[in-house]
Amino acid sequence: MKRGEVGSQDRWIRLLVDVSDALDTALTRLSRAAAKGRTDARFFSIFVLQAGQDIRAIASLYKQNLKEPAQILVRAVIECRLNFDLFFLRFLREPTDTMRLMLDAMMLEKMKQMESVNFRGLDLIPGAPTPDDLRQREREIKARRSPSEVKALRKHGFTQMTVEQRAREMHHSDMYNMVYRNFSRNVHGSDYAECLSRELELNTVPHAVYTMERDKVSFSTAAFCATGILDLTVRFFRFPMLQREFLLIALLLFAWWWAVSLVNAQPYGGKKEGRGYGHRWQGVLQAGWKANRSGNRIRQERRRRPVISRPATAINSSAMSFGVP
């Protein structure tokens, strides 16, 4: 790897570490808000915690030159961002119902896991619920939801959609097709051509150039997804962010625009996707979310967001039972 390439990668790694630090700061403030009775802060902390851990792990793996394993976590951050955007939109419309939906989805997922092992291991945990307790919770969920909704919750979680459907819903189909699906090969360990390409030069593009451009997309996608979660969380809870964190977000806006402008400058068009200006996910981190339709929907919903003072006690106790921070 050339000196310039190493320097560029080191700057990206430092940037991701700064993003992770900012997410940790937001998580600390969410914990304080939750301690004061803000149940919604517990649910936001789920996404902030996951994004912060994944981003820090991505930076650590790239420091060790473990690029393919890092792409697995980039894929995880993409899914976390899609889930967060859908959660946020629904939360702005119906906060209590959205939190209850997430808890029901979590309960059904736990039931599916426990049923697969015939509830083995519960007796080893002091104070753990019994199989009858878990089945009673499941019956309560089925009593208030339709069979089709329960099936969708068990299969896809609270979004009730596949990852591809979530990406289409939030107008991130290009990110899904180009990055998420491409990095899936590392999750399943089935793309042996990627391993062989280390020893062979491609006929069209040298391997070093290919990996450099691929890593730029990997870094910028991870930063884009994490800062979107950070930005909306900070704005919603009106956290007084430090000056350094504001400068970080401004730097990421420029870094994202610069990176993706080098990767693709051709409009994609298409009837299903509507008008295109290159990849729609290039310009999402514009100030005020003006460059993306999903961002515009979020801004519109925020104008109608409810004032949440004391959420329902049942939601709060259920969240605590799942260990939501």
In a domain, 220, yes or no: yes
| Interval 125-140: pLDDT, tens | 888 888 888 899 999 9
Residue 207 has pLDDT above 80, yes or no: no
CA dihedral 257, 260, 266, 272 (to 10 degrees): -90
Mean pLDDT calculated for residue range 188-217? 68
pLDDT in tens, 88-118: 999 999 999 999 999 999 999 988 888 888 8
In a domain, 31, yes or no: yes
Residues 6+ apart with CB under 8 A from 212: 5, 8
Among 163, 190, 187, 192, smallest CA distance to 175 is for 163
Q: What is the pLDDT of residues 151-183, one digit of tens each?
A: 999 999 999 999 999 999 999 999 999 899 888
> For the CA atoms of the chain, what is the radius of gyration?
21
Is residue 115, in this structure, part of any structural domain at all? Answer: no
Q: How many domains does the chain have?
A: 1
What residues contact residue 7 under an 8 Å CB cut-off, 6+ apart?
none
- With respect to residue 122, please indicate whether it lies within any of the assigned structural domains: no
Inside any domain, residue 126: no
Q: Which of 286, 317, 292, 312 is nearest to 89 (CA)?
A: 292
Task: Report whether 61 contacts 69 (CB < 8 A).
Answer: yes
Let me know if residue 157 belongs to a domain: no
User: What is the extent of the structural domain holding 38?
Assistant: 3-93+165-321
What's the predicted TM-score (pTM) here?
A: 0.73
Is 203 contained in some domain? yes
CA 82 to chain centre: 6
In the chain, how long is the greatest CA-to-CA distance? 63
Q: At what angle do helices 67-93 and 39-63 cross, to 10 degrees?
A: 160
Helical (H) or strand (E) element with 182: helix 181-188
